[in-house]
């Protein structure tokens, strides 16, 4: 055996198509790949982890966030989305955003995500070159989309500028094993037809995903109907924007026609339950989307509207809220929800090699300690993970075959420095607000 890493004696939840679970198995990893999952591996590896009594599973995939907004966590809570964004967040961003802010915020987000078992995240924000450098250094897999808006943004005087920047990002990171670039027009209500079409053309040219907020609030849908006579989904379809490469975030307010269009165009949907709850955006028809056979993944949204990046929290909320909405405890079972945070998210990214564990797949793996009072006894592992576990159960994290956290110690970051930087930036933000 020629292995770099051997994980021994683990309960292995593969999340493969057959939902295979190995009660006790060894995982052999060479370079970035899993080479074997076997009852007993022969030979030795450079590094061995004894995972007796522990769970090995695919790393979680957070399909929508604004990572650097961790620095705005708890700053403007308990208000409607339009007021939250237009009166507080956007003006602050205009004033504060610079490369240092992004490095500090993404560092904090990355630390939180690694600690809570996220191995891949999908982001829309500004100065994504800085985010890419931080994630590359830490070893966190990231899909990064530079926000494109008609109006001047904190980083770009125009949409063309943001699209050119996206192209530069792509040429800088195109062969990177961890960093992928997306084209990210912010939303149909902030990006006019011409810019949406330009974004789509760039995504086609470079073969990149398109990441966009769609139908988040009732007001957005009403405005769209007033302007074009169409819902946001109908409108995007009418200009030829929708395809299997589109990752549509939120999709809270949808009609039957919208769901039919999303299905026909094979659009991927990202559900951000906790953000929708906190901003009272509405009830996304996720059960209907799944019934229609649409790929749905989960995202936390930014930490300013959640207020954390813990995907275990997110799964718990998703499973429970839809039962209540439907008055039916059988909908959104734990297995379905866990798939949305792993294998279905990988499908949304068009990736076969992450989101599940099998020989030949990429080693994005988390190890959880199940020896906790709230996780015993163990009857159903999916239930335990969705309804009882939290991000703090995550003990070790492997991304692209690299050990990023071992026994709760993050190996690729100076944690004290990340936390200190966040505290200092918090003080700077407080000072800015006081003087504005």
Nearer Cβ to Zn ion (85/235): 85
For the CB of residue 389, give the shortest distance to Zn ion in the complex, in Å.
25
CB of 399 to Zn ion, least distance (A): 23
Site for Zn ion in 123-152 (CB under 5 A): none
Integer Rg of the chain from CA: 21
Those residues with Cβ within 8 angstroms of residue 434's Cβ, 6 or more apart along the chain or in another chain = none
Q: Is 190 in contact with 150 (CB distance < 8 Å)?
A: yes
CB atoms within 10 A of CB 48: 14
The distance of closest approach from Cβ of residue 281 to Zn ion in the complex, given in angstroms and rounded to an integer, is 11
Nearer to Zn ion, 29 or 187 (CB): 187
How many Cα neighbours within 13 Å face the side chain of 11? Answer: 11
Give yes or no for residue 301 binding Zn ion (CB under 5 A).
yes
Min dist CB 181 to Zn ion, Å, is 18
Cα gap 283→286, rounded to integer Å: 8
- CB-based contacts of 333: which residues, under 8 Å, 6+ apart? 319, 382
Give the nearer residue to Zn ion in terms of CB position, either 4 or 128. 128
Binding window for Zn ion (CB under 5 A); candidates: 172-180, 189-197, 293-301, 335-343: 293-301
Quick note: the x/- pattern for Zn ion over 345-364, rule CB under 5 A, is --------------------
Residue closest to Zn ion (Cβ): 301
Closer CB to Zn ion, residue 237 or residue 301? 301
**CA distance linking residue 403 with residue 45, whole number of Å:** 14
Nearer to Zn ion, 4 or 123 (CB): 123
Residue listed under structure tokens 């030829």: 240
Segment near Zn ion (CB under 5 A), from 78-86, 194-202, 220-228, 296-304? 296-304
Q: How far is the CB of 66 from Zn ion (least distance, A)?
A: 6
Q: Are 188 and 223 within 8 A, CB to CB?
A: no
Distance CA(319)–CA(321), nearest Å, equals: 6
State the nearest-atom distance from the C-beta of 63 to Zn ion, in Å. 11
Which H or E element spans position 160?
Answer: helix 159-173
Size, binding site for Zn ion by CB under 5 A? 1
Using the rule CB under 5 A, give the single segment among 29-37, 190-198, 300-308, 413-421 that binds Zn ion: 300-308
- End-to-end CA, the chain: 63
Which residues, 6 or more positions from 432, have their beta carbon under 8 angstroms from its beta carbon?
A: 92, 95, 96
In angstroms, give the least distance from the CB of 314 to Zn ion: 13
Between 5 and 279, name the residue whose CB sits nearer to Zn ion. Answer: 279
250-289 mask for Zn ion (x: CB under 5 A)?
----------------------------------------
Least distance in Å: CB of 64 to Zn ion? 6
DSSP string, 53-106: TEEEEEPEEEEEE-GGGGGGTTSS-SS-HHHIIIIIIHHHHHHH-SHHHHHHHH
Range in contact with Zn ion (rule: CB under 5 A) among 1-9, 73-81, 299-307, 334-342: 299-307
Q: Which two tokens stand for residue 8?
A: 């021994």
Q: Of 104 and 270, which CB lies nearer to Zn ion in the complex structure?
A: 270
Q: How far is the CB of 275 from Zn ion (least distance, A)?
A: 7
Taking the complex as a whole, the smallest distance from the CB of residue 93 to Zn ion amounts, in Å, to: 13
Q: Least distance from C-beta 57 to Zn ion, angstroms?
A: 26
Number of residues that make up the chain: 436
93 binding Zn ion? (CB under 5 A): no
Residue 396 has phi, psi (to 5 degrees) of -135, 150
* Residue whose CB is less far from Zn ion, 274 or 301: 301
Stretch of 254-262, 297-305, 307-315, 343-351 contacting Zn ion, by CB under 5 A: 297-305
Bridge pairing between strands 210-214 and 402-406: unpaired
Residue 369 binds to Zn ion (criterion: CB under 5 A): no
- Identify which of residues 112 and 301 has a Cβ nearer to Zn ion in the complex: 301
Q: Output the CA torsion 270→351→361→11 (10° steps).
A: 10
Residues found near Zn ion in the complex (CB under 5 A): 301
């Amino acid at each position: 055996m020629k292995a770099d890493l051997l994980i021994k004696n683990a309960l292995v939840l593969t999340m493969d198509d057959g939902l295979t679970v190995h009660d006790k198995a060894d995982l052999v990893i060479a370079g970035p790949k899993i080479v074997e999952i076997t009852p007993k591996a022969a030979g030795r590896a450079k590094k061995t982890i004894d995972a007796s009594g522990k769970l090995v599973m695919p790393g979680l995939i957070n399909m929508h966030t604004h990572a650097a907004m961790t620095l705005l966590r708890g700053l403007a809570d308990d208000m409607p989305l339009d007021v939250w964004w237009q009166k507080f967040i956007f003006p602050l961003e205009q004033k504060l955003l610079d490369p240092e802010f992004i490095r500090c915020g993404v560092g904090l987000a990355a630390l939180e995500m690694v600690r809570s078992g996220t191995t891949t995240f999908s982001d829309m924000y500004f100065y994504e070159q800085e985010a890419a450098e931080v994630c590359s250094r830490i070893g966190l897999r990231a899909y990064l989309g530079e926000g494109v808006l008609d109006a001047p943004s904190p980083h770009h005087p125009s949409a063309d500028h943001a699209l050119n920047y996206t192209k530069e990002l792509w040429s800088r990171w195109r062969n990177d094993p961890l960093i992928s670039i997306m084209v990210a027009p912010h939303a149909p209500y902030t990006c006019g037809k011409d810019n949406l079409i330009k974004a789509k053309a760039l995504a086609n040219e470079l073969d990149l995903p398109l990441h966009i907020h769609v139908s988040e609030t009732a007001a957005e849908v009403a405005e769209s109907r007033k302007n074009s006579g169409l819902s946001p989904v109908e409108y995007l379809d009418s200009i030829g924007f929708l395809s299997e490469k589109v990752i549509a975030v939120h999709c809270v307010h949808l009609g039957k026609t919208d769901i039919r269009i999303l299905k026909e165009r094979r659009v991927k949907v990202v559900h951000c339950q906790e953000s929708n709850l906190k901003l009272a955006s509405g009830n996304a028809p996720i059960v209907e989307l799944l019934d229609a056979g649409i790929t749905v993944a989960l995202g936390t949204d930014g930490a300013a509207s959640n207020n954390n990046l813990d995907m275990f929290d997110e799964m718990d909320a998703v499973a429970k809220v839809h039962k209540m909405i439907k008055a039916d405890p059988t909908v959104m079972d734990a297995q379905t929800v866990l798939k949305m945070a792993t294998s279905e998210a990988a499908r949304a990214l068009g990736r076969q090699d992450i989101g599940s564990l099998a020989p030949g797949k990429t080693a994005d793996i988390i190890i959880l300690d199940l020896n906790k009072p709230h996780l015993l006894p163990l009857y159903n592992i999916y239930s335990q993970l969705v309804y009882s576990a939290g991000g703090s159960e995550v003990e070790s994290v492997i991304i692209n075959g690299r050990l990023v956290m071992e026994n709760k110690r993050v190996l690729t970051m100076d944690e004290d420095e990340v936390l200190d930087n966040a505290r200092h930036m918090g003080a700077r933000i407080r000072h800015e607000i006081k003087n504005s």
